[in-house]
Amino acid sequence: MLESYDCLMLSGLSYNIQLGKNLLKIVDWLGRFPRQFNIICFQEFPSSQIKLFQSQSSYVTQFAASFRKKGEIYGELTLVLKKNVKVLSVQTIDLGKSIYEQRMSQTTGTRSSLVTKLLYNDVTFVLANTHLAAIASNMHRRKQVRKLIEYLGSSLFAQQTPMIILGDFNYSSLFGRKGLIKLMHEQQYTNAYLEDTHKLLNIKDHQLDYIFYKNIQVKHSKVLNLSFSDHRPITFALELLNENK
């Protein structure tokens, strides 16, 4: 019997919001955006402000605590549009800490990835909303990535499960991005784009934010020019294949 495949598309947004400094403006911008995103992934989201989205019944909210600064806990917030995407499971992966970062930035806690298993039209996929250490060596960041990939490759997930790892990798394109790309390629992950997403010291543009994927397609990636954060938001589309026999 011949196999046929239905193409399923989901819209997404990934955005490091710089400790939520302009969070209300970002919420207003999202409200005026031409469409609702199926999935929104924030990094550096203040835990005290999750209520801004919990009050919106259209989204399911999931949060992973990361670092603490000046009494506030910041982490990864993943929003999933209820009407067509179902949350199957959620897990916070501890990616470890950077001693240099804690000493130099007066933060405590460890970096993390919020791993969410999702279901859309009978297709299961996994999304890892991730934030790596800001003040650390690239070797340290690759170690954090390997820990996450090891978890995603565990027996908890089928070998062919669609996987997306995205967020703020703090891995600058100005200082040896090839090591990260090589690591992900060795693990069968594809890089979605190479564009500047951050301004270093408000002087030099470079890339810190990435989207990697396998067993799935990420299309139409676009870096938006907004001034709410020192990072720029990235919009994208997930293309899943629903196999009908």
Flag whether pLDDT at 2 surpasses 50.
no
Strand 4-16 relative to strand 39-46, pairing? parallel
Write down the mean pLDDT value for the chain.
92
Q: Name 231's bridge partners.
A: 198
Which three-class secondary structure state does DSSP give residue 61? strand
Q: Which pair of structure tokens corresponds to residue 212?
A: 């990697």
What is the pLDDT averaged over residues 126-139?
A: 94
Over the stretch 206-240, which tens digit does the pLDDT of each residue have?
999 999 999 999 999 999 999 999 999 999 999 98
- Within 10 angstroms of residue 201's Cβ, the number of other Cβ atoms is 6
Domain residue spans of the chain: 4-244
CA distances from 235 to 192, 210, 238 (A): 11, 11, 10
CA torsion angle 77 146 229 197 (round to 10): -130
| Angstrom distance (rounded) from CA 87 to CA 244 | 23
CATH 3.60.10.10 fits 4-244, yes or no: yes
